[in-house]
Structure 1
Amino acid sequence: MIDNITIREAKFEDACKITMLKLQVWLHTYAPDGIEDEYADYLDAEITSEKTRILLENPEKKLFLAEKEGRIIACYQLDFDTQCPVQEIDAPELSVLYLSQHFHGKGVGKSLLLHAEQEVVNLGHKSIWLTAYCENHQAIHFYKRQNYQLKGKCYFEMGDSKYENLVFWKELNN
């Protein structure tokens, strides 16, 4: 575990840094073979500072940051307004858990996940769900080690393509 990590709720003025972190992590995770037109179009339209500011103003979403020495190294987002693709699951979604690759394997992701789970419990919920891209083996193994159960699959659509995602769920202790 690295020292001097703080977790705090994101503020409006963090929007640009959050956007840069999301772009960095997204490209590292999903574009290991380079940037295709489909990826560039998606990122240019969807992961922008303006969309991040809109997200930060939405009361149905909560965004938290992990910082080291005042620099954002990771973030997570809870969505309270999304429907799980697995019909019997009625819980908040952990829609984002992004961690700069430079901090992998140091306990930051686990700390953020535990923080997210506690936030969900504090807000009166008993479980949480998330999706992970089926080719993101590092994330899938991470969630399984944290006792998330595979409950189904869904598809992320980008351009003309569909990408299989796995749906994970976890019951939380109060």
Structure 2
Amino acid sequence: MTLPHLQPASLSQAQLLATLAAQTLAETYCPQEIDPDSALYIGRNLSVQAFEAILKQPAAFPLIWLAYAQSGEAVGYMQLNRSYTPQLFENQQVIQLKRIYVLRSHQQQKLGKALLAQAQQLAIDQKMEGIWLICWTDNHQAIAFYKKNGFVEKGTHPFQVGDTTYEDLIFYKSFSPTN
């Protein structure tokens, strides 16, 4: 079995990321059609300009990674975020796994697991105590994936999509043997 190919995203891949992000978001949350709130979210947060801004930020390590299928096609990505930490973790050195998505056609190929492992290794390399994320309460497949990979539910967090605010679940994985 071929191991998944992961690569840090570059500034020249902002268009690819925007397309991939919009497609995976639509597959995950809007399987019939993209609603106005989701369209607003995509326009504000998953645009070429949004990804260019992230990729231009100076960082000690790459914050966005792409996963490639054997064909060479980019089929998934993950994004780390160091600029925000909820109060729940304010006295800890943690990093957010802001996004992790794989195209539906390429799920069950261990790409999500590889992206998650890469995120965790980057966090460990940066001496982080743990990694946290938020997940939509109705995304049962993702919740099962996170729990299977050692994350525990820690609370809720508001998440704005267009004009609608959702209470998403906070998940956390500690890298410390005592937590």
TM-score, length-scaled by structure 1: 0.91
Please tell me the residue identity of whatever aligns with 1:152. G
**Cα distance in structure 2, aligned partners of 1:167 and 1:161:** 18
**Cα distance in structure 2, aligned partners of 1:160 and 1:10:** 30
Answer yes or no: is the 8 Å Cα contact 1:151–1:168 preserved in 2: yes
Q: CA RMSD in A?
A: 1.9
Please tell me the residue identity of whatever aligns with 2:77. C
115-124 or 61-70: which moved more? 61-70
Q: Please name the residue that 1:76 is paired with.
A: 78
Deviations 1:72-108 (A, max 9, x none): 1111111111112524563100001011111111111
**Cα distance in structure 1, aligned partners of 2:9 and 2:49:** 15
Answer yes or no: is the 8 Å Cα contact 2:67–2:115 preserved in 1: yes
SS of the equivalent of 2:127 reads coil
SS of the equivalent of 1:135 reads coil
Answer yes or no: is the 8 Å Cα contact 1:126–1:173 preserved in 2: yes
Deviations 1:31-72 (A, max 9, x none): 134222222222223211111111101135711111123321
Please tell me the residue identity of whatever aligns with 2:86. C
Q: Is 1:24 the equivalent of 2:18? A: no
Answer yes or no: is the 8 Å Cα contact 2:78–2:97 preserved in 1: yes
1:171 to 162, 170, 174: 174
Deviations 1:82-135 (A, max 9, x none): 112524563100001011111111111111111110111111112110010001
Please tell me the residue identity of whatever aligns with 1:82. Y
TM-score, length-scaled by structure 2: 0.88
Answer yes or no: is the 8 Å Cα contact 1:62–1:77 preserved in 2: yes
Q: Is 1:153 the equivalent of 2:156? A: yes
Query: 1:94-109 maps to which residues of 2 (within 5 A)?
Result: 94-109=97-112
Answer yes or no: is the 8 Å Cα contact 2:153–2:172 preserved in 1: yes
1:47–1:154: structure 2 CA closer, same or farther, 3 Å change rule? Answer: same
**Cα distance in structure 2, aligned partners of 1:87 and 1:17:** 33
Unaligned runs of 5+ residues in structure 2 are: none
The Cα shift of 1:158 comes to 2.4
Q: Please name the residue that 1:64 is paired with.
A: 65
Answer yes or no: is the 8 Å Cα contact 2:132–2:171 preserved in 1: yes
Unaligned runs of 5+ residues in structure 1 are: none
The Cα shift of 1:173 comes to 5.7
Answer yes or no: is the 8 Å Cα contact 1:156–1:164 preserved in 2: yes
Count the aligned residue pairs. Answer: 173
Identity of aligned residues (%): 27
Answer yes or no: is the 8 Å Cα contact 2:4–2:110 preserved in 1: no
1:119 to 119, 122, 139: 122
Q: Please name the residue that 2:7 is paired with.
A: 8
